[in-house]
């Protein structure tokens, strides 16, 4: 019996083609909660990014942010956090300060960007987001980093961190960086521990490469019709496109609504 549903945000809940959450998705979430099933966002988004979205109609039980690095309850109280530490933190900060290519670093309340170029504008526009402010790093805890690429050389430089980091693509021109072994599944475990839910009582829905860990970790993993091929391969079920009521149809398929 499914007791908790974990939803990616971009491309799963929020459509960038319509710049909105489909009405059917709101309806599906409300029906899940009416049926006693808890609903959580599970996204690579940072807390500061949600200022760009009006989510007043979205009723959920909590949020897993920065690919599992922070967990907030339904009252937006931080109940779990895991910042980047040690050598990985040192190397990420070094790359950020070198400004060889645009990077941003996520803190609890802000996002610091080291530089901006056309790739940053294109990527942020594609995900309906503004440009983080350019600012020097001031020593706060860092929970996640993202890098924007213009060349294969830039990509190689970031993948030199792969012995210490999980590097996942969230756009053709950008990746997220979190510590090795960390993924959205880590945040899911924290939520399940809090609510006394087992892995076999979970369902996850996503569309991107950073959703693969979530889909494999949950008892049921669903890929959107617009998902990346690798995400579809990792899923137990592939539903329709986000703009064709994919989330609603998937939950209906599993008789949860």
Q: What share of the chain is helix, strand, coil (3-state, %, to 5)?
A: 35, 25, 40
Summarised one tens digit per residue, pLDDT across range 56-108 is: 999 999 999 999 999 999 999 999 999 999 999 999 999 999 999 999 999 99
**H-run or E-run covering 203:** strand 202-206
Domain positions in the chain are 4-82+182-253, 86-179
Superfamily of domain 4-82+182-253: HAD superfamily/HAD-like (3.40.50.1000)
Gyration radius of the chain's alpha carbons? 17
pLDDT band of residue 44 (cuts 50, 70, 90) is very high
Q: What is the per-residue pLDDT for 183?
A: 87
Query: Two tokens at 139?
Result: 């020593």
**H-run or E-run covering 90:** helix 86-98
Task: CATH number for 86-179: choose from 3.30.300.30, 3.40.630.30, 3.90.700.10, 3.30.1240.10.
Answer: 3.30.1240.10
CB of 177 closer than 8 Å to CB of 165:
yes
CA distances for 133 relative to 140, 154, 216, angstroms: 16, 22, 35
pLDDT mean across residues, the chain: 95
Q: What is the per-residue pLDDT for 170?
A: 87
Q: Is the pTM here over 0.95, yes or no? A: no
């Amino acid at each position: 019996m499914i007791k908790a549903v974990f939803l990616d945000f971009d491309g799963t809940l929020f459509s960038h083609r319509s710049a909105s959450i489909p009405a059917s998705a709101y309806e599906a979430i409300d029906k899940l909660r009416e049926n006693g099933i808890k609903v959580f966002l599970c996204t690579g988004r940072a807390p500061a990014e949600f200022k760009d979205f009006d989510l007043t109609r979205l009723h959920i039980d909590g949020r897993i942010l920065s690919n599992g690095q922070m967990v907030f309850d339904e009252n937006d109280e931080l109940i779990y956090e895991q910042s980047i530490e040690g050598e990985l933190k040192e190397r990420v900060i070094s790359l950020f300060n070198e400004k060889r290519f645009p990077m941003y670093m996520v803190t609890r309340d802000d996002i610091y960007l080291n530089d901006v170029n056309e790739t940053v504008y294109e990527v942020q526009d594609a995900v309906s987001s503004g440009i983080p402010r350019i600012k020097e790093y001031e020593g706060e805890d860092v929970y996640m980093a993202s890098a924007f690429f213009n060349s294969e050389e830039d990509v190689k430089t970031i993948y030199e961190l792969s012995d210490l980091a999980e590097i996942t693509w969230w756009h053709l021109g950008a990746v997220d960086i979190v510590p090795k072994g960390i993924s959205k599944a880590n945040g899911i475990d924290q939520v399940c521990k809090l609510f006394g839910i087992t892995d076999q009582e979970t369902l996850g829905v996503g569309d991107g490469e950073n959703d693969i860990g979530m889909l494999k970790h949950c008892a049921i993993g669903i890929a959107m019709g617009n998902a990346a091929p690798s995400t579809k391969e990792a899923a137990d079920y592939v539903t329709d496109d986000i703009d064709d009521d994919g989330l609603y149809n998937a939950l209906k398929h599993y008789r949860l609504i």
